[in-house]
């Protein structure tokens, strides 16, 4: 039985921090954000929004645009790393909000959990729900997988320039209009690591930024090795002599903590894949230097990052490599469109990979590309750490959906935050009733209970 993504909806909060304004506030070079990281604007939540509101708003959009009723939904999963309760799952809050619109008890039949594994958990949720459909358990119903996060870092930290917020809802079923998952290829890699984590009670993560960058690359490469074996064994891709598995993937979507990380990851994977192929010699000639090797090639991530000479020459090699026509061709044809939305919105943690997927469809379609039958690869990464590689094929029904995609219109008119407003939002100085924007047709947070017997209970309303 087929399983895949039938439709996708996006909810991005309307406040944003401009990269130039941020650079002025913190005294950093705006070019570092715009060119070095690919960050132009970072979406910010208002004081009456939390990750559950974002998720519920994304769900409502997909249900309304597809004229779905709660009876059409058999499972509702929310994947997040912005959880605010150690026990009560975020999907229960989302169901509570949706029932304000669809009626008390209307989702009673709907199973689901909140899933957690930093930015990769949405991919595990998609996989599990696709298998629920493949197993024939869905009985004609759909699954909703919602990825929702607020990427917030400490003031003044290097992560602060890679923030963002938003939610994406994906409708899964056995006759997907958008993308059918390739069966028996999903590949994972996992290792106990502390590259990025958020201990109980801490609002922002503890981050070892450069370590997490390199670990992301290594983990994704490990998962790609497993994907290659599974794709060959299942007969989905048989790699010809002198070719790479990447030659058979038309578009690649990578986890995007910031847009430029996608390009970094693509370059890393392409280097890894091409190194043993006949084409590499011609590429090296163009690069004009041999590929650097660390002093201890089997060393730890710390020893590689500490090898200053290697890091310096590898940066130079990468710069020259990414300018070659060979890499540029791969970058433009397989990845560039997926980065557009990320640079407008910033980091969405679990949702960033799927915003990239949405971005590819919208902006490739706008370019006039025919995506039907094309294979999309997904490179998912979550700190802590695990990577997942999987793929799928674009279905004929995608045209009908792509025609209506317009991210800018879907976000709606945005408000650029002043430096003072940003500091107040970041410092949680505003209560829900002091929100900067007044919204309509959206779920918002009304209050969080502070009494000893009901501490933490949240109230939401749907603003007419």
Q: Which is nearer to ligand COA, 120 or 172 (CB)?
A: 120
Q: Is 72 helix (H, G, I), strand (E, B) or coil?
A: helix
Q: Strand 415-416's sheet: what is its strand order?
A: 41-44, 15-18, 415-416
Q: Which is nearer to ligand COA, 114 or 314 (CB)?
A: 314
Q: Return d(Cα 255, Cα 380) in angstroms, integer.
A: 5
Q: Which is nearer to ligand COA, 22 or 274 (CB)?
A: 22
Query: What helix, strand, coil percent values describe the chain, rounded to 5?
Result: 45, 20, 35
* Least distance from ligand COA to the Cβ atom of residue 277, Å: 24
Q: Which is nearer to ligand COA, 33 or 94 (CB)?
A: 33
* Least distance from ligand COA to the Cβ atom of residue 414, Å: 23
Helices (H) and strands (E) counted in the chain, each on its own, are: 16, 17
Q: At 458, phi and psi to the nearest 5?
A: -110, 140
| Beta-strand pair 415-416/15-18 | parallel
Residue nearest to ligand COA (CB): 36
Q: Which is nearer to ligand COA, 159 or 379 (CB)?
A: 159
* Least distance from ligand COA to the Cβ atom of residue 78, Å: 21
* Least distance from ligand COA to the Cβ atom of residue 167, Å: 19
* Least distance from ligand COA to the Cβ atom of residue 400, Å: 34
Q: Which is nearer to ligand COA, 50 or 160 (CB)?
A: 160
Q: At 287, phi and psi to the nearest 5?
A: -65, -35
* Least distance from ligand COA to the Cβ atom of residue 278, Å: 28
Q: Is 55 helix (H, G, I), strand (E, B) or coil?
A: helix
Q: Token match 């990269």: residue?
A: 19
DSSP labels, 141-190: -EEEEEEEEEE---TTSGGGGG-EEEEEEEEEESS-SSEEEPTT--EEEE
Q: How far is CA 243 from its chain centroid?
A: 29
* Least distance from ligand COA to the Cβ atom of residue 249, Å: 21
Nearest 5 degrees, angle CA 171-CA 177-CA 182?
A: 85
Q: Which is nearer to ligand COA, 254 or 393 (CB)?
A: 254
* Least distance from ligand COA to the Cβ atom of residue 263, Å: 8
Beta bridge partners of 461: 444
Give the ranges where 13-149 is alpha helix by DSSP (H): 19-26, 30-31, 51-65, 90-102, 121-134
- Joined together, the tokens standing for residue 155 give 């003031």
Residue 192's CB is within 10 A of a number of other CB atoms, namely 6
Sign of CA dihedral 90, 94, 95, 96: positive
**Side-chain half-sphere exposure of 415, counting CA atoms within 13 A:** 16
Q: Which is nearer to ligand COA, 129 or 212 (CB)?
A: 212
- Give how far Cα 255 sits from Cα of 35, 43, 143, Å: 18, 17, 22
- Give how far Cα 424 sits from Cα of 33, 147, 160, Å: 22, 26, 15
* Least distance from ligand COA to the Cβ atom of residue 33, Å: 8
Q: Which is nearer to ligand COA, 29 or 434 (CB)?
A: 29
Name the helix (H) or strand (E) containing 422. Answer: helix 419-426
Q: Which is nearer to ligand COA, 31 or 234 (CB)?
A: 31
* Least distance from ligand COA to the Cβ atom of residue 314, Å: 10
* Least distance from ligand COA to the Cβ atom of residue 381, Å: 6
Q: For binding to ligand COA (CB under 6 A), which residues are involved?
A: 29, 31-32, 35-37, 158-159, 161-162, 196, 207, 209-210, 212-213, 216, 257, 261, 315, 381, 383
Q: Which is nearer to ligand COA, 348 or 425 (CB)?
A: 348
Q: Return d(Cα 203, Cα 199) in angstroms, integer.
A: 9
């Amino acid at each position: 039985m087929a399983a895949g993504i039938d439709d996708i909806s996006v909810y991005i909060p309307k406040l944003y921090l401009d990269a130039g304004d941020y650079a002025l506030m913190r005294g950093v070079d705006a070019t570092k954000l715009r060119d070095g990281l690919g960050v132009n604007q970072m979406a910010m939540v208002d004081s009456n929004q939390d990750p559950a509101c974002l998720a519920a708003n994304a769900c409502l959009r997909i249900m309304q645009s597809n004229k779905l009723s709660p009876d059409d939904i058999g499972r509702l999963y929310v994947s997040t790393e912005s959880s605010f309760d150690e026990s009560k799952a975020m999907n229960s809050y989302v169901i509570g909000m949706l029932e304000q619109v669809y009626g008390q008890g209307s989702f009673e039949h709907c199973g689901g959990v909140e899933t957690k594994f930093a930015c990769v958990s949405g991919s595990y949720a998609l996989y599990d729900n696709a298998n629920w459909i493949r197993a024939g358990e869905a009985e004609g119903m759909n699954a909703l997988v919602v990825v929702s996060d607020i990427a917030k870092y400490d003031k003044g930290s290097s992560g602060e320039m890679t923030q963002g917020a938003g939610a994406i809802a994906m409708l899964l079923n056995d006759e997907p209009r958008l993308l059918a998952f390739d069966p028996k290829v999903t590949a994972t890699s996992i290792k106990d690591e502390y590259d990025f984590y958020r201990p109980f009670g801490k609002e922002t993560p503890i981050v070892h930024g450069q370590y997490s960058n390199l670990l992301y690359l290594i983990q994704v490469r490990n998962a790609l090795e497993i994907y290659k074996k599974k794709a060959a064994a299942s007969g989905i891709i048989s790699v010809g002599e002198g070719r790479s598995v990447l030659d058979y993937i038309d578009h690649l979507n990578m986890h995007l903590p910031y847009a430029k990380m996608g390009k970094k990851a693509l370059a890393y994977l392409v280097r890894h894949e091409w190194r043993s192929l006949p084409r590499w010699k011609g590429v090296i000639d163009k690069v004009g230097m041999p590929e650097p090797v660390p002093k201890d090639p089997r060393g730890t991530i710390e020893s590689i990052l500490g090898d200053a000479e290697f890091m310096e020459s590898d940066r130079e090699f990468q710069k020259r490599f990414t300018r070659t026509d060979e890499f540029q061709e791969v970058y433009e044809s397989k990845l560039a469109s997926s980065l557009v939305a990320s640079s407008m919105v910033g980091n969405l943690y679990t949702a960033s990979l799927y915003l990239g997927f949405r971005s590819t469809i919208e902006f490739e379609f706008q370019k006039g590309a025919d995506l039907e039958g094309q294979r999309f690869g997904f490179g998912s990464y979550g700190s802590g750490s695990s990577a997942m590689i999987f793929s799928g094929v674009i279905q004929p029904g995608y045209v009908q959906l792509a025609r209506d995609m317009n991210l800018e219109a879907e976000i709606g008119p945005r408000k650029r935050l002043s430096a003072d407003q940003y500091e107040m939002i970041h410092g949680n100085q505003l209560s829900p009733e002091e929100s900067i924007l007044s919204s309509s047709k959206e779920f918002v947070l009304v209050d969080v209970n502070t009494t000893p017997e009901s501490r933490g209970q949240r109230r939401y309303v749907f603003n007419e």
